[in-house]
Amino acid sequence: MIIVLKPGATKEQSDALIKVIRARGLQIDVSKGASKTVLGLVGNTSVLDMEQLQGYECVDQVIRVDVPYKRASRAFHPQDSVISVGKGVSVGGKKLAVIAGPCSIETPEQIEGVAKSVAAAGAAMLRGGAFKPRTSPYSFQGLKDKGLDMLCAAGKKANLPVVTEIMSADKLPLFLSDDVDVIQIGARNMQNFDLLKAVGKTNKTVLLKRGLSATIEEWLMSAEYIMAEGNHNVILCERGIRTFETYTRNTLDLSAVLAVKRQSHLPIIVDPSHATGKRWMVADLARAAVAAGADGLMIEVHNDPDNAWCDGAQSITPAMFAELMDSLRQLAPIVGREI
Amino acid sequence: MIIVLKPGATKEQSDALIKVIRARGLQIDVSKGASKTVLGLVGNTSVLDMEQLQGYECVDQVIRVDVPYKRASRAFHPQDSVISVGKGVSVGGKKLAVIAGPCSIETPEQIEGVAKSVAAAGAAMLRGGAFKPRTSPYSFQGLKDKGLDMLCAAGKKANLPVVTEIMSADKLPLFLSDDVDVIQIGARNMQNFDLLKAVGKTNKTVLLKRGLSATIEEWLMSAEYIMAEGNHNVILCERGIRTFETYTRNTLDLSAVLAVKRQSHLPIIVDPSHATGKRWMVADLARAAVAAGADGLMIEVHNDPDNAWCDGAQSITPAMFAELMDSLRQLAPIVGREI
Amino acid sequence: MIIVLKPGATKEQSDALIKVIRARGLQIDVSKGASKTVLGLVGNTSVLDMEQLQGYECVDQVIRVDVPYKRASRAFHPQDSVISVGKGVSVGGKKLAVIAGPCSIETPEQIEGVAKSVAAAGAAMLRGGAFKPRTSPYSFQGLKDKGLDMLCAAGKKANLPVVTEIMSADKLPLFLSDDVDVIQIGARNMQNFDLLKAVGKTNKTVLLKRGLSATIEEWLMSAEYIMAEGNHNVILCERGIRTFETYTRNTLDLSAVLAVKRQSHLPIIVDPSHATGKRWMVADLARAAVAAGADGLMIEVHNDPDNAWCDGAQSITPAMFAELMDSLRQLAPIVGREI
Amino acid sequence: MIIVLKPGATKEQSDALIKVIRARGLQIDVSKGASKTVLGLVGNTSVLDMEQLQGYECVDQVIRVDVPYKRASRAFHPQDSVISVGKGVSVGGKKLAVIAGPCSIETPEQIEGVAKSVAAAGAAMLRGGAFKPRTSPYSFQGLKDKGLDMLCAAGKKANLPVVTEIMSADKLPLFLSDDVDVIQIGARNMQNFDLLKAVGKTNKTVLLKRGLSATIEEWLMSAEYIMAEGNHNVILCERGIRTFETYTRNTLDLSAVLAVKRQSHLPIIVDPSHATGKRWMVADLARAAVAAGADGLMIEVHNDPDNAWCDGAQSITPAMFAELMDSLRQLAPIVGREI
């Protein structure tokens, strides 16, 4: 960590600050420039609170040289993590993991039908929302526990592990059933820290979506929240960020895949459906994500998008999904993967 | 609501869509342009799900003409709402409400000392964090229920209503104590819909901060979530949005004050401390907020910012706060307010 | 075009507005909703100025149903445009066009060396900056006309068409030389309308980069500026947009490739070097761009990145470029392209 | 300047880098941390190119401790600059400068009528566009030199200095007339470096608007471009930045006023008309800007906004302007200013 002092910092001020830092067991290298003095802190800087240091009147800037996360950091865990998700499936290895399914679970027939088709096309997991975070309180909010039961039944029938979103820690017991394989934390809850801690205390695999306006560092800090509680089974999911451009629902940030893979050992998949909000963009951006190096995909598939209860505009049909999988099968080997 | 059909929409497709809409009791005015057909929907369009309509293959755009919120909308409640918060204080009327206090509660002496000073300077309410949402799991997370007790005691002594943040619905019973006057929902939880519903079922006043990347419409929809459950005591708080500019922690959006006041009857206050992250900007932007028409302010005040346990860099001292209040006393009458 | 009137619009106000619109030869379909009246305008709405209509006191919203560009629009030109750039190279057809070269031209040896290597690896064009737009007036500003001469000479020797940036219309004569094949308009000049008009009056192919914060519509409107002057030889280049994320220099928006190809017939290429600012990201995102459907790439290649006069951090070496080309050769056929 | 080396940097690499830096006459303080080595550069770091240093393979981060501008920096010029603009008016002192006038000049009667009204209300300068940067090539592009003549005549009659926008250096001779007092560089041209250099070679006062997505540092670097050519008469103008929020045309960033005043000695004014695009927001945000500490305002005023040739939606009437000026007269003394 580096602390730049203000040009007018007095000796009393800087001495007081240096004393506080030394008291935490750190060494300080002082470099006096023409106008500013720079303190280089050597030692375990994780005992210091960067924001608190910025509060000192004599401090101009506090600059972190090391990343603020540890368990999520590749520095302390150079090998890629491969997360096993049940039913023989894992994420983060050579084999790409493609998660597919409808935005929301509607009926047993719907979810079983979709499960069957996506399994046939080669999907590795089944997704489906039972608890739905909706911008409007008047929109369909999901079938809740009944939906969850339908999803688990469909997953069993199709022999696919299931992924589904949790919105609140008090519903956690429902998600701890053996039938739920992966718990999803949605973009809007990426910094719902109490929920992160709650799932961190379980041993369920967590799929952590990037928040709409979360930096990569904040996202990895949210993963760290889960890992700090003991649960290291975390999969990240890039799903588009909010920018000024409104043509697409969000802006898919594929450079985040590369950034995450350099900074962290955790696997990362990409959700082109939510990123774009447009069905006709999904397959092309799915291919782009795999080409960029993603460990998998999360794709919304619906048997009848025109009549989907939510997000129909971004859902592709089972036939379109099968076609996409065919092209991914050709593409994967070029980037050293298989499907 | 207006639906624009794609140039190539077939008669079968548009007839199917029109049938669905008419079945919901709506009338349709059809306007055939050179290249595109436009459907104007007349009636209670709130029964329709805009996203679902966008899923139809034949649909190019769905454009809302009316706002998607009702209880929060000024259209249905033309007069400004004045929210009473206890101990004789209310927000939204002629009198400006200035909330002041430290980022986090540290000791009884600290919170009582700050309470006494800000009360003397004319603050209307006392703020202080007991449960702290922190980006890092390794940062100080607040004194929790002990901190809450200290805050309530300090509020009583200084005769100031208290405002404090809730992070999770399971802690709600603590916040329902008579000693807590206003429950704050932080920026990161603005779309934690389960938490919104939970506080919506109480009759406590809720201070709803704008999310880092929330549009004004999304923010009012979150207020609608609370109001839809029966609790109409909602105060909004603009606290800066995330933009490309990094000189300030966030970018304070004062035009949002005007937008909210036009779209909604709910009161809106401004938090210049979190918006900027810089102590030396707080007073000037507080004055700007009042000049723009805000109903109040939320200011971080700490007796010893250099040693604050969090957010010291943006906290002002009690002396700076008193000076700010003096200038606001002169400024308020110019915009038809008092303090 | 659709005009939504304010709830309180008087008959006099709306009659005055309707009169003005009819005077321009347009028909109006009126749809009276519960709270708002909607005017559907039928006919050639391009004679109307949307912003001017928004100025009317009685107008709530003006919504465009058709795009505001014509020559750049796919609606009026359904086939993909294939732009010929000289020396047998064209952009927009089945064959991908990869442009490569250094950020700035430094010496004849440097540019000729790079030209030779990238030609050998299969590049279709040579890039190099002679006039450099730099944030600081104290940074190297390019070798100007001397640099241009070196570039043209290197292009000739390697038999590669050359692309180079123009910063000001008064330098246009230099760029009209037969030796310059494509004139680049940089991101910062995307809305330098006088420069757009100037190159629009020539018959040189123009490579138009997307502005840092330009919407897709604004970008296509800038292409329209060039085309409206008679020059239809426009190639678009996505190079990252400015967002809140600072890990990368900009955020590469690959969904823009798809959006542009749907809205326009113009070819679009992708520049992963400027988008990321990081050498180690370039190859992966180049592959992603091709997988997404881009018509080509623009890659910064430097023989000695450590000592590059600018943008060394994002330049790849000739060896890395050759390796990238090899993988693109495998990838292209999967998305129906060749290289 | 601080350079952080990568964990794996070899001694050869760092020695090579250190040699290059020492050769430029700088001293280096080396601080070896647990995982990374930090080089503190002491001396005149402006001789180094930050981007070039980032290109070195062994470099992890380059962090600037000092700002990259000099002539625009308050560090080298602690007193506020007061820029004289002719006809007895100056900007940057105690007296606020309010610039008013229509978006575009339409007829002699229009501009003279507006000039007369705003002069009577206390405006310090007259604005009006003769050369108009428009998103669409099909929109009205301004009356050009004829418009300029009308503006100058109206300014003379009303005894107001005039401000008008230049779009291209080749039109500079027109703007060098004694009748033009201030040359405006619009947001879209903020990084049109050739235009900046051209006006920098004159002695005309330049009003430099902030680019739509320009950071404060980039904006001050553009001021530096003008000043580096010898022209120190620069006034900055905040006019809203592009964010995800679309309720307003742009997002007015009043914290930029404070940031600029801390970083630079140059005066800064605020344009609430372009920032919001909404007439009914202008007066409130104008008051907010003055309360925040702006040195002046730029306001669009039109005698007949319903029929304005451009930007009618954001223009206020002369009567609204007079009312605004009355309230500013009361507000100014509270923040130590007069009008």
Provide the β-strand partners of residue B117: none
- State how far the Cα of B316 lies from the Cα of B320, in Å rounded to an integer: 6
Question: Does A256 contact C at CB distance below 8 Å?
Answer: yes
Provide the β-strand partners of residue D100: D126, D299
Q: Mean pLDDT across the stretch C47-71?
A: 84
Residue B317 pLDDT = 96
Q: Amino acid letter at C114?
A: V
Whether the predicted pLDDT of B35 surpasses 90: no
Which of A64, A244, A246, A262 best tests the D interface by mutation, with the highest count of D CBs <10 A? A244
Residue B255 pLDDT = 98
Interface contact C192-D189, CB threshold 8 A: yes
**Residue C282: which of C219, C213, C328, C236 has the closest Cα?**
C328
Interfacial A residues in 257-276 facing C (CB < 8 Å) = 257-259, 262, 275-276
Query: Could you write out the three-class secondary structure of chain C?
Result: CEEEECCCCCHHHHHHHHHHHHHCCCEEEEEECCCCEEEEEECCHHHCCHHHHHCCCCEEEEECCCCCCCCCEHHHCCCCCCEEEECCEEECCCECEEEEECCECCCHHHHHHHHHHHHHHCCCEEECECCCCCCCCCCCCCCHHHHHHHHHHHHHHHCCCEEEEECCHHHHHHHCCCCCCEEEECHHHCCCHHHHHHHHCCCCEEEEECCCCCCHHHHHHHHHHHHHCCCCCEEEEECCECCCCCCCCCECCCHHHHHHHHHECCCEEECHHHHHCCHHHHHHHHHHHHHHCCCEEEEEECCCHHHCCCCHHHCECHHHHHHHHHHHHHHHHHHCCEC
Question: Does B247 contact C at CB distance below 8 Å?
Answer: no
User: What does DSSP say about strands D182-185 and D162-166: parallel, antiparallel, or unpaired?
Assistant: parallel
Whether the predicted pLDDT of C291 surpasses 90: yes
Half-sphere exposure for C232 (CA within 13 Å, toward CB): 12
Which of A309-323, C53-67, D36-50 shows the highest mean pLDDT? A309-323
Residue located via tokens 């559907």? C40
Whether the predicted interface score ipTM is above 0.90: yes
List chains adjacent to chain B, taking adjacency as at least 3 C-beta pairs closer than 8 Å. A, C, D
Per-residue pLDDT of C10-38, as tens digits, reads: 989 989 899 889 988 888 888 887 678 88
Interface contact C167-D194, CB threshold 8 A: yes
Compute the nearest-CA separation of A17 from chain B (Å).
Answer: 9
Question: Does C333 contact B at CB distance below 8 Å?
Answer: no
Question: Does A336 contact C at CB distance below 8 Å?
Answer: no
- State how far the Cα of C217 lies from the Cα of C73, in Å rounded to an integer: 10
Confidence of residue B43 (pLDDT cuts 50, 70, 90): confident
Residue C47 pLDDT = 75
Compute the nearest-CA separation of A291 from chain C (Å).
Answer: 5
- Searching chain D, which residue's CA lies closest to the CA of residue A35? D66
Compute the nearest-CA separation of B73 from chain C (Å).
Answer: 13
Q: Each residue's pLDDT tens digit in chain A (339 positions)?
A: 889 898 888 989 989 899 888 988 888 888 887 678 888 888 877 778 777 788 888 898 888 888 889 999 998 899 999 999 999 999 999 999 999 999 999 999 999 999 999 999 999 999 999 999 999 998 889 999 999 999 999 999 999 999 999 999 999 999 999 999 999 999 999 999 999 999 999 999 999 999 999 999 999 999 999 999 999 999 999 999 999 999 999 999 999 999 999 999 999 999 999 999 999 999 999 999 999 999 999 999 999 887 777 777 889 999 999 999 999 999 999 999 999
Compute the nearest-CA separation of C43 from chain B (Å).
Answer: 6
Confidence of residue B8 (pLDDT cuts 50, 70, 90): confident
Whether the predicted pLDDT of D311 surpasses 80: no
- Searching chain A, which residue's CA lies closest to the CA of residue D42? A33
Interfacial B residues in 284-313 facing A (CB < 8 Å) = 305-313
A75 contacts in chain D (CB < 8 Å) = 7, 35
Residue B63 pLDDT = 86
Whether the predicted pLDDT of B95 surpasses 80: yes
Residue A127 pLDDT = 98
3-state secondary structure of D117: helix
Total residues found in chain B within this entry? 339
In Å, how far from its chain's centre is CA D142? Answer: 22
Q: Are A166 and A183 in contact (CB under 8 A)?
A: yes
Interface contact A33-D65, CB threshold 8 A: yes
Question: Does C320 contact D at CB distance below 8 Å?
Answer: no
Q: Amino acid letter at B335?
A: V
Given B52, B68, B315, which is nearest A309 (Cβ)? B52
Confidence of residue B33 (pLDDT cuts 50, 70, 90): confident
Question: Does B52 contact C at CB distance below 8 Å?
Answer: no
D139 contacts in chain C (CB < 8 Å) = 49, 51
Confidence of residue C57 (pLDDT cuts 50, 70, 90): confident
Whether the predicted pLDDT of D168 surpasses 90: yes
Whether the predicted pLDDT of D33 surpasses 90: no
- Searching chain A, which residue's CA lies closest to the CA of residue C328? A334
pLDDT, chain B, mean: 94
Q: How many CB pairs under 8 A join B and D?
A: 121
Q: Are B287 and D291 in contact (CB under 8 A)?
A: yes
Q: What is the DSSP string of D169-185?
A: GGGHHHHTSTT--EEEE
Confidence of residue B60 (pLDDT cuts 50, 70, 90): confident
Interface contact A248-C259, CB threshold 8 A: yes
Show the tokens assigned to D150.
């009308």
Interface contact D42-A29, CB threshold 8 A: no
User: What does DSSP say about strands A37-42 and A2-5: parallel, antiparallel, or unpaired?
Assistant: antiparallel
Helical H runs in chain D?
A: 11-23, 50-54, 108-121, 144-158, 172-175, 193-200, 216-228, 255-263, 272-276, 279-292, 318-331
Percent of chain C exceeding pLDDT 70 equals 100
C-alpha pair distances (Å), C319 with each of A131, C324, D300: 51, 9, 57
- Searching chain B, which residue's CA lies closest to the CA of residue C246? B244
Tell me the torsion sign for CA atoms D211, D216, D221, D227: positive
Whole-angstrom Cα Rg for chain D: 23
Interfacial A residues in 175-214 facing B (CB < 8 Å) = 188-189, 191-195, 197, 212-213
Interface contact C75-B29, CB threshold 8 A: no
- State how far the Cα of D308 lies from the Cα of C51, in Å rounded to an integer: 10
The set of residues, in sequence order, having a beta carbon less than 8 Å from that of A319 and lying 6+ positions away, is: none
- State how far the Cα of B338 lies from the Cα of B94, in Å rounded to an integer: 6
Q: Are B13 and B56 in contact (CB under 8 A)?
A: yes
What single-letter DSSP state applies at residue A312? G
Residue B113 pLDDT = 97
Provide the β-strand partners of residue D3: D39, D62
Given C31, C42, C244, which is nearest B42 (Cβ)? C31
3-state secondary structure of D300: strand
Given D167, D213, D307, which is nearest C194 (Cβ)? D167
Q: Mean pLDDT across the stretch C300-318?
A: 87
Q: Are A201 and A157 in contact (CB under 8 A)?
A: no
Provide the β-strand partners of residue A184: A165, A207
Whether the predicted pLDDT of B158 surpasses 90: yes
Lowest mean pLDDT segment, chosen from C11-25, C144-158, D75-89, D163-177: C11-25
Whole-prediction pTM value? Answer: 0.96
Element (H, E) at B327: helix B318-331
Residue B316 pLDDT = 95
Neighbours of B332 (CB within 10 A): 17
Q: Over the range B73-101, which residues count as b (16 or more CB within 10 Å of their CB) and which as e? A: bbeeeeebbebebbeebbbbbebbbbbbb
D281 contacts in chain B (CB < 8 Å) = 255, 258-259
Q: Mean pLDDT across the stretch B44-66?
A: 82
Compute the nearest-CA separation of C334 from chain A (Å).
Answer: 7
Q: Mean pLDDT across the stretch C159-180?
A: 97
The set of residues, in sequence order, having a beta carbon less than 8 Å from that of B304 and lying 6+ positions away, is: none
Question: Does B138 contact A at CB distance below 8 Å?
Answer: yes
Query: Phi and psi at residue A114, in whole multiples of 5°?
Result: -65, -45
User: What does DSSP say about strands B296-300 and B234-238: parallel, antiparallel, or unpaired?
Assistant: unpaired
Given B38, B42, B242, which is nearest C2 (Cβ)? B38
Residue B56 pLDDT = 86
Query: Phi and psi at residue B261, in whole multiples of 5°?
Result: -65, -30
Interface contact A139-B311, CB threshold 8 A: no
Q: Over the range D131-141, which residues count as b (16 or more CB within 10 Å of their CB) and which as e? A: bbbbbbbbbeb
pLDDT, chain D, mean: 94
**Residue C207: which of C217, C198, C216, C199 has the closest Cα?**
C199
Show the tokens assigned to D103.
């978006």
- Searching chain D, which residue's CA lies closest to the CA of residue B261? D281
Element (H, E) at B211: none
CA angle D8, D10, D13 (to 5 degrees): 120
Given D217, D245, D259, which is nearest B216 (Cβ)? D245
Given C138, C170, C193, which is nearest D133 (Cβ)? C193
Per-residue pLDDT of B124-133, as tens digits, reads: 999 999 999 9
Interface contact C306-D56, CB threshold 8 A: yes
Neighbours of C179 (CB within 10 A): 16
C246 contacts in chain B (CB < 8 Å) = 246
Compute the nearest-CA separation of D210 from chain A (Å).
Answer: 17
Per-residue pLDDT of B215-232, as tens digits, reads: 999 999 999 999 999 999
Whether the predicted pLDDT of B177 surpasses 80: yes
D243 contacts in chain B (CB < 8 Å) = 241, 243, 251, 253
- State how far the Cα of A223 lies from the Cα of A207, in Å rounded to an integer: 10
- State how far the Cα of D330 lies from the Cα of B333, in Å rounded to an integer: 10
Given D215, D258, D327, which is nearest B284 (Cβ)? D258
Percent of chain D exceeding pLDDT 90 equals 76
Given C217, C255, C284, which is nearest A258 (Cβ)? C284
Residue D57 pLDDT = 83
Q: Are A61 and D65 in contact (CB under 8 A)?
A: yes
Start-to-end C-alpha separation, chain D: 43
Whether the predicted pLDDT of D35 surpasses 80: no
Given B31, B43, B66, which is nearest C36 (Cβ)? B66
Interfacial D residues in 74-113 facing A (CB < 8 Å) = 75
Show the tokens assigned to D77.
């010029």
- State how far the Cα of A238 lies from the Cα of C60, in Å rounded to an integer: 37
- State how far the Cα of B35 lies from the Cα of C31, in Å rounded to an integer: 19
Interface contact B2-C2, CB threshold 8 A: yes
Given C215, C255, C291, which is nearest A281 (Cβ)? C255
The set of residues, in sequence order, having a beta carbon less than 8 Å from that of C293 and lying 6+ positions away, is: A284, C257, C258, C261, C335
Greater confidence (D310 vs B337) lies with B337
- State how far the Cα of A64 lies from the Cα of A73, in Å rounded to an integer: 15
In Å, how far from its chain's centre is CA C48? Answer: 27
